[in-house]
Amino acid sequence: MTRKEDSIQMAVGGLTLDPVTKTPIVILKDTDNKLNLPIWIGLLEATAMATEIEGIKMARPMTHDLLKNILGEVGGSVTSVEITELKENTYYALIYLNVGGRKMTIDSRPSDAIALALRTKSPIYVAKAVLEASSILQQGEEEKEPVFANVSKEKWAELLEKMSPEDFKYKM
């Protein structure tokens, strides 16, 4: 992991939808509630986060539940996750694991890292360089005046209820 002074601990502040594209966005907030980092994510990852945040239990384990269960069975734990880079408008993340005393670092999409961190109650860090780069990116986009509508618990429940098992299949 990068040095603690090079990153800031953050938590999921909420999920919202981009009003134009209807793409889900996870909002990370620092502990002082002064900084936020919006990350556009996929519907499946947003669903994985929303079900955990809202305490909705699925009949069968979802992918992130499976990862948590496998780690538990092999005596592993997620020590933290970190959003490490922002390159060409794409965020990168790492998952830090401890498996039998062996420290491991796994490359991940931020959405998967965050969903796993929520399930394992692990801290989420964001590199300061990412926050700075994102701030510059957001300032450029402010001229477009984006409007974000918060999505309520009821709306997430409605979205989840309307989804069928087919919606969870990857299409090629």
Q: Judge contact between 113 and 81, C-beta under 8 A.
A: yes
Write down all domains in the chain, each with its CATH number in brackets: 4-166 (3.10.690.10)
Give the global pTM.
0.77
- Of residues 135 and 142, the one with the higher pLDDT is 135
Q: Judge contact between 75 and 124, C-beta under 8 A.
A: no
Within the chain, where are the H helices?
A: 43-53, 63-73, 110-120, 128-142, 153-162
Mean pLDDT of the chain: 84
pLDDT tens-digit profile of 80-137? 999 999 999 899 999 999 999 999 999 999 999 999 999 999 999 999 999 988 876 5
